[in-house]
């Protein structure tokens, strides 16, 4: 049974359609990369999955259970299964790195404080920030903040990790450290949906690549297909353009 | 009796002290109730916290109306509203109500500005982690918004303390009224009004000190440390 099945999913911002009839399935342990020009609906798809934007139609099935985005209880459940890492990190500015990681597990999930503290410290060490527990977001570099955000997402123990262009807001020399962190998670078998413009990285870690344009899924296939032998004309154009430089 | 004897007469000193307490309690109570009400008005205006359009409309209409009516007019309206309702309330109640209604409208604007100064991505992150609206507000948004909300609110409170002198118009026994009584007793206007000038200053200065303390107290740990 796939971990996640998206069928005929459509969504709009006001009257503007932003996702049209999106179909996608993600197996447990699979890494799915979504690529495409900006404005193609990649990030919106992630926002819909966690209920930050209500879908217009279609269905999302997580671990065999269809999600009803109108039900607060169902929404709570689906948010328990997903964790998002945002392009702009979205760390809570009023909290230390450690508190950013511990707040949701303690306040929302009501897990024991000492256990969460220990796990949060372990996670921060894992992303290479063992010496930054008490730093505030504005005392950290972009790459460090994004790694805190990844640790924060992992502390939620998600079944699927959603990564929304997590390196786009970073200076080039800081991209590597964040990609290394994601690479580690990939090796550990974390299920991930990764919206990314880092094509070399996508080719390396993704099991499946989704090319989106204008809110639609244009082509889905293994990285070799998408990058070396794209079937659709739009994919060919996009890949040619981005691989040229 | 000389002017100084009149001024230092225990009865006169008691008059000054009583009227000072009246102005102080009118200001503190009125602003306190007003800011609390304004805080909730601002929450009502925020669709992330209260997703109910009529609540938002009410808050907007209230805020936009009450910010635009002169204090004296509001005072008279409140006075006659109580009379019209057949409620026999004290002048103090009327004055406190007026101060509170005024403070609420302004506080609502300040709180709204504070909440809106926090980037929407903070809400998104909290929501995606299953934090409820109020938890996000209390733990994430407000700690960052206090420093934006408090300074203008306190500046405004000082302005409102000064407006309370208008309550003398309905006969409330506060500082300005006391000054008029003193001049009627034969104390020179310079001494009478000079005295209340100093007392208004003391009250407003105390409010400013309180604001400064509150800003430090409510700022995030990081700013407190700095």
CA distance A198 to chain B (A): 23
Give the mean pLDDT of B196-201.
96
The answer to whether the CB atoms of A86 and B121 lie below 8 A apart is: yes
Q: Is B8 near chain A, with CB under 8 Å?
A: no
For A101-118, write each residue's pLDDT tens digit: 999 999 999 999 999 999
Compute the Cα dihedral for A171, A226, A24, A186 and give only its sign: negative
**Cα–Cα distances in Å, from A56 out to A26, A47, A63?**
21, 13, 22
Express each pLDDT in B95-136 by its tens digit: 999 999 999 999 999 999 999 999 999 999 999 999 988 999
Q: With 90 as the cut, is the pLDDT of residue A183 above it?
A: yes
Here the CATH number for the domain that contains residue B122 is: 1.10.3720.10
Structure confidence by residue, pLDDT tens digits, B8-17: 999 999 999 9
Banded model confidence at residue B49, pLDDT cuts 50, 70, 90: confident
pLDDT of B91 > 80? The answer is yes
Tens of pLDDT along A207-223?
999 999 999 999 999 99
Q: Provide, for chain B, the percentages of residues in helix, strand and coil under a 3-state DSSP scheme, each rounded to the nearest 5.
A: 85, 0, 15
Check if B140 contacts A (Cβ < 8 Å). Answer: yes
- How far apart are the two ends of chain B, measured CA to CA in Å? 58
> Do A242 and A213 touch, CB atoms closer than 8 A?
no
pLDDT surpasses 80 at A244: no
Q: How far apart are CA A97 and CA A101, in angstroms?
A: 7
Domains of chain A: 1-19+50-81 (no CATH), 88-193 (3.40.50.300)
Domain span at residue B10?
Answer: 3-225
Which of A79, A91, A93 shows the shortest C-beta gap to B128? A79
**Quick check: B143 contacting A, CB < 8 Å?**
yes
Number of domains in chain B: 1
Whether A94 sits inside 8 A of B126 (CB atoms) is: no
- Which of A50, A84, A92 should one mutate to test binding to chain B, selecting the residue with the greatest count of B CBs within 10 A? A92
- Does the pLDDT at position B148 exceed 60? yes
Contact list in A for residue B140 (CB cut-off 8 A) is 92, 94-95
User: How near does any CA of chain B get to the CA of A228, in Å?
Assistant: 36
**Residue B225 pLDDT level (bands cut at 50, 70, 90):** very low
Between CA A162 and CA A34 the distance in angstroms is 11
Q: Does B67 touch chain A (CB under 8 A)?
A: no
Residue B93 contacts A where some CB pair is shorter than 8 Å:
no
pLDDT digits (tens, 9 = 90+) for A137-148: 999 999 999 999
Chain A residues touching B139 at Cβ < 8 A: 92, 103, 107
Residue A84, pLDDT > 60, answer yes
Say whether pLDDT at B188 is over 80.
Answer: yes
Q: Is B138 on the interface with A (CB under 8 A)?
A: no
Interchain pair B130, A76: CB under 8 A? yes
Q: Is the pLDDT of residue A94 over 50?
A: yes
- B219 CB within 8 Å of a chain A CB: no
Find tokens 């000193």 and name the residue. B13
Please name the residue of chain B whose CA is at the shortest distance from the CA of residue A48: B128
Q: Provide the pLDDT confidence category of residue B47 given band limits of 50, 70 and 90.
A: confident
């Amino acid at each position: 049974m796939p971990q996640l099945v998206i069928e005929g999913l459509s969504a709009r911002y006001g009257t503007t359609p932003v996702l049209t009839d999106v179909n996608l399935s993600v197996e447990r342990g699979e890494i799915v990369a979504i690529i495409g020009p900006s404005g193609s609906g990649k990030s919106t798809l992630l926002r819909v999955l966690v209920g930050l934007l209500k879908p217009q139609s279609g269905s999302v099935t997580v671990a065999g259970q269809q999600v009803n985005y109108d039900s607060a209880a169902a929404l709570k459940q689906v948010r328990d299964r997903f964790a998002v890492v945002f392009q702009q990190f979205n760390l809570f500015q009023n909290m230390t790195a450690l508190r950013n990681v511990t707040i949701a597990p303690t306040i929302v999930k009501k897990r024991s404080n000492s256990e969460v503290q220990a796990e949060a410290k372990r996670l921060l060490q894992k992303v290479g920030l063992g010496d930054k527990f008490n730093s505030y977001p504005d005392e950290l570099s972009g790459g460090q903040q994004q790694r805190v955000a990844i640790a924060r997402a992992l502390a939620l123990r998600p079944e699927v990790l959603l990564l929304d262009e997590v390196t786009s807001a970073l200076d080039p020399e800081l991209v590597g450290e964040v990609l290394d962190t994601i690479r580690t998670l990939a090796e550990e078998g974390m299920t991930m949906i990764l919206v990314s413009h880092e094509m070399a990285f996508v080719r390396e870690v993704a099991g499946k690549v989704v090319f989106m344009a204008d809110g639609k899924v244009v082509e889905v296939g293994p990285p070799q297909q998408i990058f070396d032998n794209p079937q659709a004309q739009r994919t060919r154009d996009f890949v040619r353009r981005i691989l040229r430089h | 009796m000389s002017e100084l004897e009149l001024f230092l007469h225990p009865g006169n000193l008691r008059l000054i002290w009583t009227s000072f307490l009246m102005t102080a309690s009118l200001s503190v109570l009125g602003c306190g109730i007003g800011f609390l009400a304004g805080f909730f008005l601002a929450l009502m205006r925020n669709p992330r916290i209260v997703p109910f359009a009529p609540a938002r409309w009410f808050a907007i209409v209230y805020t936009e109306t009450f910010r635009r009516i002169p204090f004296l007019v509001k005072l008279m309206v409140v006075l006659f509203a109580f009379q019209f309702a057949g409620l026999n309330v004290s002048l103090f109640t009327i004055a406190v109500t007026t101060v509170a209604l005024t403070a609420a409208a302004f506080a609502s604007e300040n709180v709204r500005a504070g909440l809106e100064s926090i980037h929407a991505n903070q809400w998104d992150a909290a929501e995606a982690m299953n934090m409820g609206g109020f938890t996000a507000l209390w733990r994430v948004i407000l700690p960052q918004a206090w420093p934006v909300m408090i300074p203008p609110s306190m500046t405004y409170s000082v302005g409102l303390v000064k407006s309370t002198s208008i309550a003398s118009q309905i006969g409330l026994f506060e500082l300005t009224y006391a000054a008029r009584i003193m001049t009627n007793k034969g104390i020179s206007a310079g001494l009478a009004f000079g005295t209340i000038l100093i007392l208004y200053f003391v009250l407003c200065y105390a409010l400013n000190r309180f604001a400064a303390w509150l800003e430090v107290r409510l700022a995030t740990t990081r700013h407190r440390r700095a």
